[in-house]
Amino acid sequence: MNSFFRINMLHSLKILLLCFAVQFLQPAVAAGILPENVQAELEQQWGIRVISLRQSAAGYMLDFRYKVTDPVKAKKVLDRSIKPQLIVTSTGNHLQVPAPSKIGPLRQSSREPRADTNYFIFFANPRRQVNIGDEVSIQIGKLEIPGLKVSNS
């Protein structure tokens, strides 16, 4: 009976590791969130590449992920003084980054961005007004990324 338990435990561990591997590979699949020419323009001008925009926290948050490709250019995007906004295309509503008093804004900011590092920004989604498939724009200072679709994975 003891060996049976070990074998099942081993299989469970393999399945768990496979799930983690799929999770880490997922951003590469989601990279088609923007047309390649738009991604190339973002990389050239702003030093970032959009990875994903997903619902999170049971739909009450939107999780925007991007990768820094050029730290010098990306400094403008990661500036702490800039307040990012998510604009809902259909309604024109502006969603903000929540800033709880004890932990501060729910976004990464860095004085020295690092290349090939993923960064995130969480946007509040009150009343779950933005749903999967909705089109939005993200504005970070002078950077505007139009035509993003919200996904669930």
Domain made up of 33-149: CATH architecture: Sandwich (2.60)
- Per residue in 86-137, pLDDT (tens digit) is 999 999 999 999 988 877 777 877 678 999 999 999 999 999 999 999 999 9
Task: Please choose, from the candidates 85, 80, 82, the residue with its C-alpha nearest in 3D space to the C-alpha of residue 109.
Answer: 80
Task: Please choose, from the candidates 53, 139, 34, the residue with its C-alpha nearest in 3D space to the C-alpha of residue 95.
Answer: 139
Q: Please check the confidence at residue 13 and state whether its pLDDT lies above 90.
A: no
Q: Please check the confidence at residue 17 and state whether its pLDDT lies above 50.
A: no
Q: Which tokens belong to 152? A: 């669930």
Taking the domains of the chain in order of start, what are their residue ranges? Answer: 33-149
